[in-house]
Every structure is written in C-alpha cells, then in structure tokens.
Amino acid sequence: MKYPKAHEEFKEFLKDGKHRVTPERFEVLDYALDQKGHFGADELYIEMKKNDSNISRATVYNTIELLANCDLLSKRHFGENKTRYESNFNRKNHDHLICTNCGKIKEFSSTRVEDLVKQISDELGFDNTGYSFNIFGKCTDRSCDKYED
Amino acid sequence: MKYPKAHEEFKEFLKDGKHRVTPERFEVLDYALDQKGHFGADELYIEMKKNDSNISRATVYNTIELLANCDLLSKRHFGENKTRYESNFNRKNHDHLICTNCGKIKEFSSTRVEDLVKQISDELGFDNTGYSFNIFGKCTDRSCDKYED
DNA sequence: TTCAGTGCAAAAACTTTGCAGGAGG
DNA sequence: CCTCCTGCAAAGTTTTTGCACTGAA
C-alpha cells in the first residue's frame, strides 16, 4: 500500500453511513496521488485504462469528487472549461501564476491572500469555505518556454 | 443605436487591418451589453435566436471572444466548466463571492486585491496581465435563497 | 437482504472546426 | 479581387445520466 495515511483518511471520510468502502475508490485514490501536478478526471481515467484497469469513467468521476470533498484533492479551474485536480496530501495551501504564453503554472503561498479572503468574507457577511486566486501573465525572461527577445 | 460609445470602441479595435467591421459583430455587441449579470456564449446565442436573429453560433462565439479581447467584456470562470462573460462597459473592476448553497454571486471591489496581485507578480518576476479571484462560501442569514434555521 | 456502487453506453452541455458561399476593404 | 467572415452542420471535449448487475454492510 503506497499511501497508508491517505487510505486511512479516506476510509474515515467514507464511514459516515452514506458511503461504502470499495476497492475501486482506493484504486482511484492511488492513481490520483501518483499524479504530478494538475490533472483532469478524464486524463486519470484514460491513464488507468492504459494500465489495464477495469475501472469505469463514472467511478473515476464519482471518486475524484469524493476525494475533493474530503480535502485529499483540490479542485482547480485555470480559465479552461475543464476541472483540474491536484493532490493536497502533505502539501500546504498555495495559489497559482499562469503564463498565458507558455502555459506553465507557478505556485506561490502567501498568508496575505488568506488574510484578505477572511477579511473580505467578514466584511460582507459571508461564511467562507474556500477561494480561488489565479494570476495570469507572462513569465519574464528566459524562464518562459516561449520567450523571445 | 443603443450603445454608441461601445460601438465606437469596438470599431476602433477592429480597424487594425486584421479584422473586418460587420453588422453581425455589432448585433452581438448590443445583445451582450443588454445582458444582466453574467452570461454564457451559448445562452447569448439562444437568446438571439429566440428573437429571430439570423446569427450563427460560430459568429457569436467568435465575436464574444473579440469583445473580451478589447475589454468590452470580461471573461469569468466560477468553478463550472463553462466560460461566463460580463459587461465591462461603464463598470469598475470587481471580484466575486459565490454562494455554494444558492448560487448567488455577490460582487466586491477592493484595491487590496489589485495591490496584492501587483506585489506578488513583482516578487516572482511575472509580467501580470490579469487575475481571477473568487471567494466561495455561504451567504449568512436570510440573504441566502436557501437559508435554513 | 438491501441499497449504494459499478461498468457501460448514451446523452448532455459547451465549444471548436470544416466548408462553401458572401461581403468588406 | 482577395481575404476574412458568415451560416450551417458536424465533430470534439468534458461531464453527467440511465440502467441492470454486483457486492459491501
């Protein structure tokens, strides 16, 4: 078992009387945590199929949603019309800079963002459960894959 | 003509040698500026069709993209898998609070957000062109359409 | 035993593309 | 007259749904 702690967390989450513990769900969990960076639900499904899994699309979509609900994954939207996910397991909160030239995504953490979210939610009487903060622009200099002088 | 200033702006934008000024484009512009709040490209297309317009889907999608490029519209993503737009015409920059219970979207403006975007872009060597900042949560009290005691 | 979960396939929702004809500059 | 734009329809992409069967509790 590759991710015993995550399995344990997920199992706890499922044992609420409304969900069942199934091997398929843990198979999806393992694949999800193995992903590097951000991935889409369909990409994960296709990868599992390539590895001869018997999983169905519906189960992958269903399970990924559960994993996001129990905070093992984060849901992201980077201005495309698809949902992306990324592992939260052993990672701290962060936000994203997206280069509109080369598509690369840089990450940053800042308590200033979290403070601002709390402050604004309070001011406007809003019971905050999450946020999404993306900065779009261009990497400067040679760090950009499509940099041109 | 309902929006002469916007027509003028759009016309200026189009006259760059790469684009053409067509009546269809201004028809889409008028419908877009008439929308209240956020709307999707397909919604706009369907509304135009209901009003017996001869417009095609391709033209609506194409034109809306142009209107976003010249800043008459803003592109938004609220965690769904579709692009939403909203009029920028005579409006100032703002961000959004999205109630995950009732779906209502509140708006707020804060220079603190813009300052933070600039600050972080500078710190990380990033040539900022835009950002997206959404806060998710629940309206408190009776302001929420699905509020329950 | 019971009902949530599964696999499969079809449908749905949104967007993009290919093509032939038409019109802007 | 040369492209770019248009309408239409088809196809693409991602996600959701319906259904009969299976297996967890």
Is the CB of residue A57 inside 7 Å of nucleic acid strand D?
yes
Nucleotides of strand D under 7 angstroms from a protein beta carbon = 4-10, 13-19, 23-25
* B100 and B77 in a common domain: no
Q: Are residues A61 and A104 in the same domain?
A: no
Using a cut of 0.85, tell me whether the model's pTM lies above it: yes
Inside any domain, residue A34 = yes
End-to-end Cα, chain B, rounded Å: 49
Residue A14: CB atoms within 10 A of its CB come to 17
Query: How far, CA to CA in Å, does B67 sit from each of A39, B49, B131, B132?
Result: 30, 20, 18, 18
Q: Which residue among B82, B112, B126 sits closest to A81, beta carbon to beta carbon? A: B82
Nucleic strand D contact set for A 87-146 (CB, < 7 Å): none
Does A109 lie in the same domain as A127?
A: yes
> What is the rounded CA–CA span in Å between residue B67 and residue B41?
12
CA distance, residue B133 to nearest chain A CA (Å): 4
**What is the C-alpha to C-alpha distance for residues B1 and B4, in angstroms, rounded to an integer?**
6
**C1’ D20 / CA A142, Å:** 57
pLDDT surpasses 60 at B11: yes
Q: Is the CB of B21 under 7 A from strand C?
A: yes
The domain that holds B124 is classified in CATH as 3.30.1490.190
Share of chain B above pLDDT 70, in %: 95
Between CA B44 and C1' C1 the distance (Å) reads 52
Q: What is the pLDDT of residue B142?
A: 65
Of B97, B100, B127, the CB nearest to A140: B127
State yes or no: pLDDT of B134 exceeds 80. Answer: yes
Q: Do A97 and B141 touch (CB under 8 A)?
A: no
| Integer Cα distance of A137 and B38 in angstroms | 24
Q: Residue B133 belongs to what domain range?
A: 95-137
The verdict on residue B142 lying in a domain is no
Residues B69 and B112 placed together within one structural domain of the fold: no
B19 lies in the same domain as B69: yes
The two tokens of residue B113 are 């957000």
Task: Identify whether residues B46 and B106 lie together within a single domain.
Answer: no
Nucleotides of C under 7 A from a protein CB: 4-10, 13-19, 23-25
Residue-wise pLDDT for B18-29, tens only, equals 999 999 999 999
Q: Evaluate whether residue B149 is within a structural domain.
A: no
Q: Look at residue B141 in the predicted model and tell me its pLDDT.
A: 67
Instruction: Give me the pLDDT at residue B118, please.
Output: 96
Q: Are residues B129 and B110 in the same domain?
A: yes
Question: Does B105 reside within a domain?
Answer: yes
Same domain, yes or no, for A70 and A110?
no
- Decide if A83 touches B, using CB distance below 8 A: yes
For chain B, give the percent of residues with pLDDT over 90.
Answer: 85
d(CA A83, CA A43): 11
State whether B44 and B115 are in the same domain: no
Number of domains in chain B: 2
> Is the shortest CB-to-strand distance from A69 to strand D under 7 Å?
no
Residues A40 and A69 in one domain: yes
B126–chain A Cβ distance below 8 A for any pair? yes
> Under DSSP, is residue A2 helix (H, G, I), strand (E, B) or coil?
coil
End-to-end CA distance of chain A, in Å? 49
Say whether both B122 and B52 belong to one domain.
no
Cα B110 to Cα A115: distance, rounded to the nearest angstrom: 14
Each residue's pLDDT, cut to its tens digit, for chain A (149 residues) gives 889 999 999 999 999 999 999 999 999 999 999 999 999 999 999 999 999 999 999 999 999 999 999 999 999 999 999 999 999 998 999 999 999 888 889 999 989 999 999 999 999 989 999 999 999 998 886 667 665 55
List, as one string, the DSSP characters of chain B: ---HHHHHHHHHHHTTTT----HHHHHHHHHHHH--S-EEHHHHHHHHHHTT----HHHHHHHHHHHHHTTSEEEE--SSSS-EEEE-TT----EEEEETTT--EEEE--HHHHHHHHHHHHHTTEEEEEEEEEEEEEE-GGGSTT---
Per-chain mean pLDDT for chain B: 93
Instruction: Establish if A148 touches chain B: CB-CB under 8 angstroms.
Output: no
A147 lies in some domain: no
What pLDDT, on the 0 to 100 scale, is given for residue B149? 54
DSSP sequence for A40-92: EHHHHHHHHHHTT----HHHHHHHHHHHHHTTSEEEE--SSSS-EEEE-TT--
According to the model, what pLDDT value does residue B139 have? 87
